[in-house]
Amino acid sequence: MISSFDIVSSETETGSVRYILSKVHRSSFILGKFFFLFLVFTSVFSGIALISLIYHYSAGNAFQFESIILFWISSSLYLGCFIGIFLFISTLSANNKISFTMSTVFLGILIFFILQGNESYLKYITPFFYGIKNMEFTKGFPVEAGYLKVFESLFSMFLYILVFLSMSLLAIKRRDL
């Protein structure tokens, strides 16, 4: 959240976005911001996954490529969800203070939704639900029947990213900078 809540709003606040958008299309600007943050965080999690793999092997355990790859994919998509959310909020706000406040409030609302328990259908619209679901899968790689649940969870996170990224693109296209 710290690195992505003001990724667009700070440039809007200082006026530097006008110079950038005079040479680059608005959709390229948003997609570039998203993919830069996504690649940075994915490379960090790749390093963490590699260190974990080396640590488990040095402790005498066998390589568990399936669980490490599932952890890497699910954590990358999980981070992509939050980057998409905060990029959308940053696109909507005029300055970084408003963006930080809106991001904190939205994060609090998402946490409230997930804490409602199993009876609430609101938990399905939060990335926390799918992140928790994916962490359950990394304990033991699922056998035949579990592959569909893993795919469903990962696909839901991917759709979550696409929805917020497309809302960011629509918001920046309609916005007067």
State how far the Cα of 155 lies from the Cα of 146, in Å rounded to an integer: 14
* Greater model confidence, 133 or 74: 74
* Greater model confidence, 135 or 40: 40
* Greater model confidence, 177 or 87: 87
Tokens of 170: 């629509």
Tokens of 2: 């710290």
Give the type of residue at 127: P
**Over the stretch 154-171, which tens digit does the pLDDT of each residue have?**
888 899 899 999 999 999
Angle at 158 between CA 170 and CA 167, to 5 degrees: 10
Tokens of 108: 């609090």
Assess contact for 154 and 73: CB atoms under 8 A: yes
Task: Enter the pTM of the model.
Answer: 0.78
Q: Give the whole-number percent of the chain exceeding pLDDT 90.
A: 9
State how far the Cα of 116 lies from the Cα of 129, in Å rounded to an integer: 11
State how far the Cα of 26 lies from the Cα of 174, in Å rounded to an integer: 10
Assess contact for 74 and 152: CB atoms under 8 A: no
* 123-138 mean pLDDT: 67
**Helix intervals (H) in 15-145:** 16-21, 26-58, 65-92, 96-114, 127-139
